[in-house]
Amino acid sequence: MVVLNGIDLKIDLSDQVINWLEKEIGHFSFEFIELGSKGRTQTWRVKTRSDVYYFKLYESRLNWQHEIFAYKNWSGAYAPNVPVLCGEFENDTLPGILVTGIDGNPLREGNYSSEEIAAVYEFAGRLCRHLEEYAVGLRFGLPKYDNYQWSILDHRIYPQITSDNPVEYVRNRYLTLLESAKKFHALDPQEMEITLEALDLIDVFSGEKPVPVNSDFTPGNWLVNKYNRFAGVIDLESITWDVPIFSLTRLISKYFPFQENGRKAFYRGYQGNLELEKPEQVRIVIIMDGLRYLIKGFDDNNLQNISRGRNIFQLIKE
Quote the pLDDT of residue 160: 64
CA–CA distance, 306 with 228 (Å, rounded to integer): 34
CA–CA distance, 136 with 9 (Å, rounded to integer): 42
3 state SS of 3: strand
**Which of 16-25, 65-74, 134-143 has the highest average model confidence (pLDDT)?**
16-25
Same domain, yes or no, for 201 and 176? Answer: yes
Residue of 81, 98, 85 whose CA lies nearest to 224: 81
Are 165 and 241 in contact, with CB atoms under 8 Å apart? Answer: no
CA–CA distance, 76 with 92 (Å, rounded to integer): 29
pLDDT band at 40 (very low <50, low <70, confident <90, very high): confident
Quote the pLDDT of residue 144: 65
Residue of 74, 197, 213, 196 whose CA lies nearest to 140: 213
pLDDT at 9 over 70: no
pLDDT at 216 over 90: yes
Q: Work out the average pLDDT over 195-209.
A: 97
Could you tell me which residue, 126 or 40, shows the higher pLDDT? 126
Quote the pLDDT of residue 154: 41
pLDDT at 10 over 90: no
Q: Work out the average pLDDT over 234-244.
A: 93
pLDDT band at 11 (very low <50, low <70, confident <90, very high): low
Averaged confidence pLDDT in the chain: 90
Same domain, yes or no, for 81 and 131? Answer: no
Residue 202 one-letter amino acid: I
Same domain, yes or no, for 59 and 122? Answer: no
Residue 234 one-letter amino acid: I
pLDDT band at 63 (very low <50, low <70, confident <90, very high): confident
**How many CB atoms are located within 10 Å of the residue 40 CB?**
15
Quote the pLDDT of residue 142: 78
Domain range for 276 is 108-317
Are 216 and 250 in contact, with CB atoms under 8 Å apart? Answer: yes
Same domain, yes or no, for 123 and 92? Answer: no
Picking from 73, 100, 127, the residue at the C-terminal end of a domain is: 100
Same domain, yes or no, for 52 and 115? Answer: no
Same domain, yes or no, for 114 and 256? Answer: yes
Q: Work out the average pLDDT over 259-280.
A: 97
Quote the pLDDT of residue 36: 79
CA–CA distance, 125 with 191 (Å, rounded to integer): 31
pLDDT at 7 over 60: no
pLDDT at 269 over 80: yes
Same domain, yes or no, for 86 and 117? Answer: no
Are 108 and 219 in contact, with CB atoms under 8 Å apart? Answer: yes
Are 241 and 212 in contact, with CB atoms under 8 Å apart? Answer: yes
pLDDT band at 286 (very low <50, low <70, confident <90, very high): very high
3 state SS of 260: helix
| Structural domain count, the chain | 2
Same domain, yes or no, for 250 and 303? Answer: yes
pLDDT at 66 over 90: no
CA–CA distance, 70 with 56 (Å, rounded to integer): 14
3 state SS of 240: strand
Q: Work out the average pLDDT over 187-194.
A: 96
Q: What pLDDT, in 10s, does the model give residues 112-167? A: 999 999 999 999 999 999 999 999 999 998 776 544 444 444 444 445 678 899 99
Quote the pLDDT of residue 4: 42
pLDDT band at 62 (very low <50, low <70, confident <90, very high): confident
Same domain, yes or no, for 277 and 299? Answer: yes
| pLDDT above 70 as % of the chain | 91
Picking from 54, 84, 100, the residue at the C-terminal end of a domain is: 100
pLDDT band at 297 (very low <50, low <70, confident <90, very high): very high
Residues comprising the chain, all counted: 318
Whether the bond between 80 and the residue before it is cis, its omega within 30 degrees of 0, is: yes
Quote the pLDDT of residue 162: 83
Same domain, yes or no, for 114 and 90? Answer: no
3 state SS of 302: coil
Same domain, yes or no, for 172 and 233? Answer: yes
Phi, psi of 216 (to 5 degrees): -115, 35
Task: Output the DSSP codes for 15-29.
Answer: HHHHHHHHHHH-S-E
Residue of 76, 81, 96, 72 whose CA lies nearest to 20: 96
